[in-house]
Amino acid sequence: MNGIEKAKIISKILNQIYPKIKVPLKSRNNFTLLISVLLSAQCTDVNVNNVTKNIYPRYNKPKHFVKLGRKRIEKLIKKIGIFRIKAKSIFNLSKILLEKHKGQVPKTFNELEKLPGVGHKTASVVMSQGFGYPAFAIDTHIHRLAQRWGLTNGKNVTQTEKDLKNLFPKKNWNKLHLQIIYYGREYCKARSCYGLTCKICTTCYPHRKKPVITRKA
C-alpha cells in the first residue's frame, strides 16, 4: 500500500468519524484566534479556553492589550504555561498590529511570522481557521500520527508538512488538520495505540506487531 492509497483510506475513516468538525480553540475574531493559538503552545486547548473565556468579553482587540500592559496581561494568563514569555509576545505583537497593520491581523504567512511569538504552525492555524486559506499546521499530534501511518519519515515538522501536502488534496487540508488532531486525542493516543490498535493503524498495517517509535516534533 503506497502513500496515496493510505491517504485515501485515512480520509475515508476520518470523514466517517468526524463528518463535521469544530475548531477547538474559542475566539471572537481573528485577533483573539491568534492570541489563543499563541497561548496553546505547551498547553491544552481546554486550559486556554478556560482562561480566555474571562478575557475576551472585555479585551479582544490589539489596543486593549497595549493599554493593559505586560504585567496585567501576565496576571490574566498566569494559569497558562510560560505565561511571562507569552504575555511579552502578546503585548509586543499587539503594538506592532496597531503601528504597522492598522490593528488588523495580516493575511499572509510572511507578515504573520514576523510577529513576536508567532511561528509557522501558529501562522498556519490563523491562515486556515481565520482566513480560510488552505494550510496544514503540523503539531505534535499530527507529526506523530503521520509517522505511525507511514505518511512521512518524521525527519522534522517541515518535512512532515511537505509530505502530507503532497498526499492529500489541497481542498481538504484545513479540515484534515482538525480531524487528525481529534483522532489522535481520542483513538491513536501517544501512550496507548503505539501504532497497533486503532482503526487507521490496523487498516494501514494489518500485520504490524511491534510498537512504532516516532521522532518528536
* Active-site position among 86, 121, 163, 175: 121
Catalytic residue among 12, 26, 63, 139: 139
Find out whether 86 and 77 touch, Cβ atoms under 8 Å.
Answer: yes
- Considering the entire predicted model, what is its pTM? 0.93
How far is the C-alpha of 93 from the C-alpha of 49, rounded, in Å?
20
Question: Exposed/middle/buried for 11, CB within 10 Å: 0-12, 13-18, 19+?
Answer: middle
Q: Is 121 a catalytic residue?
A: yes
CA distances from 97 to 20, 66, 100, 169, 187 (A): 33, 10, 6, 33, 39
Q: What is the pLDDT of residue 216?
A: 85
Determine the pLDDT at residue 154: 83
Residue 204: predicted pLDDT: 95
165, 151 Cβ separation under 8 angstroms:
no
- C-alpha dihedral (64, 91, 36, 144), degrees to nearest 10: 170
pLDDT of residue 42: 87
Q: Is 163 a catalytic residue?
A: no
pLDDT in tens, the chain (217 residues): 889 999 999 999 999 999 999 999 999 999 999 999 999 998 999 999 999 999 999 999 999 999 999 999 999 999 999 999 999 999 999 999 999 999 999 999 999 999 999 999 999 999 999 999 999 999 888 999 999 999 999 889 999 999 999 999 999 999 999 999 999 999 999 899 999 999 999 999 999 999 999 988 7
Residue 206's pLDDT is what? 95
**97 contacts: CB under 8 Å, gap ≥ 6:** 31, 62, 103, 104, 105, 115
Per-residue cell: 114: 514576523
DSSP string, 25-45: S--SSHHHHHHHHHHTTTS-H
